[in-house]
Structure formats: structure tokens, C-alpha cells
């Protein structure tokens, strides 16, 4: 079992060293790196994380596969990464980076629309609401990141 953790670590490290920026964007390497680190972290205590580790290992047996990935394989891989992220959110109470910013922007826009309507200046209200939403969302995201609860 420990061998799988080490193997995943090696593959992600090797991939990070060998992949170019276009391919890294295509497979969303930064996210894959963060997800892999979290899988390794929860590997010993979570059977699902062990299975997901095996899934990534199986897909990436040859790191060149990421360089020559076709559209169908990429969609399948990204779908699996989303499933892994969903598992981490539900089972391990982790959040995706930027999650709270998106939530608070939406709330800020709703509040800003209400304020703007009451002030009869919709543009000002929406602007203020969005600004406040972004500020609160960034602060909450930073707090959760500091606590180590961000994927």
C-alpha cells in the first residue's frame, strides 16, 4: 500500500518536471498535484482514497500518456478527478480553492441588487455588493486555506 503512495508521488513529480505549460493547462496539472497530495494524505485512513490513488496510477502508468492524451481520454480523466474532488469535499470536509469567493460574490450581487434598487442606483449597489462579496469570500478562503481545508 505504501508503495502506491510513493509511486503516485513519483509520477506527479516526474510529470511536473516533464510537462510543458500548454499540456499542464490541458490536464489542469496544478489541480491534479493538489488532489494527489490530498489522496496521499488520506491514503491510510480512507479506502476510497486508496482506490482513487490506484485509479490515477493506472491512468498515468506512462507519463507520456498525458502528453499525447486525446479528447475522449482527457474528458474521462477530468471526470474522474471531479469525482475524487467531490469525495474529498463530502468525506473529508475539504473545499476547492476559490469556493467561498464564488459563493460570496453571488450573495454580494443579490444584496447589492437589493441595496441598489432601494437607493435607485442599481449600478452602485451591484458594484458595492460584488466588492463586498469578493472581499468576504477571499477572507474566508484564506482562513480555510490557513486551516489546511483547501484542496
Is residue 112 in a domain?
yes
Range of the domain at 83: 2-92
Same domain, 47 and 16: yes
Low-confidence winner among 50-64, 77-91, 95-109, 121-135 (lowest mean pLDDT)? 50-64
- Residue at a domain's end among 75, 92, 109: 92
Q: How far is CA 151 from CA 14, 81, 82, 96, in A?
A: 21, 12, 12, 5
At 21 the pLDDT is: 81
Same domain, 116 and 84: no
CB atoms within 10 A of CB 30: 12
More confident residue, 102 or 2: 102
Is residue 48 in a domain?
yes
- Residue at a domain's end among 92, 110, 127: 92
At 93 the pLDDT is: 92
At 60 the pLDDT is: 76
Residue 120 clears pLDDT 70, i.e. is over it = yes
Same domain, 8 and 73: yes
Residues 13/7, Cβ–Cβ less than 8 Å: no
Positions of E strands within the chain: none
Binned at pLDDT 50, 70 and 90, residue 4 comes out as confident
Encode burial over 109-136: b for 16+ CB neighbours within 10 A, e otherwise: bebbeebbeeeeeeeebbebbbebbeeb
Pick the closest to residue 27 from 69, 84, 85 (CA basis): 69
Counting the structural domains of the chain, the total is 2
Residue-wise pLDDT tens digits, 106-118: 999 999 999 999 9
Residue 67 clears pLDDT 70, i.e. is over it = no
Same domain, 69 and 108: no
Is residue 151 in a domain?
no
Same domain, 69 and 20: yes
Q: What are phi and psi of 84, to 5 degrees?
A: -65, -45
Q: How far is CA 54 from CA 20, 50, 86, in A?
A: 25, 6, 17
pTM higher than 0.85, yes or no?
Answer: no
- Residue at a domain's end among 58, 76, 92: 92
At 27 the pLDDT is: 81
Amino acid at each position: 500500500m505504501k508503495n502506491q503512495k510513493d509511486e503516485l508521488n513519483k509520477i506527479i513529480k516526474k510529470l511536473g518536471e516533464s510537462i510543458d505549460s500548454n499540456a499542464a493547462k490541458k490536464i489542469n496539472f496544478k489541480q491534479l498535484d493538489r488532489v494527489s497530495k490530498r489522496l496521499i494524505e488520506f491514503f491510510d485512513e480512507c479506502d476510497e482514497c486508496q482506490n482513487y490513488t490506484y485509479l490515477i496510477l493506472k491512468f498515468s502508468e506512462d507519463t507520456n500518456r498525458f502528453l499525447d492524451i486525446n479528447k475522449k481520454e482527457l474528458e474521462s480523466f477530468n471526470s474522474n478527478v471531479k469525482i475524487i474532488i467531490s469525495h474529498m469535499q463530502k468525506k473529508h470536509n475539504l473545499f476547492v480553492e476559490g469556493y467561498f469567493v464564488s459563493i460570496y460574490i453571488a450573495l454580494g450581487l443579490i444584496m447589492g441588487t437589493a441595496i441598489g434598487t432601494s437607493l435607485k442606483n442599481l449600478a452602485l449597489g451591484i458594484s458595492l455588493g460584488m466588492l463586498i462579496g469578493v472581499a468576504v469570500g477571499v477572507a474566508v478562503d484564506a482562513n480555510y486555506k490557513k486551516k489546511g481545508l483547501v484542496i
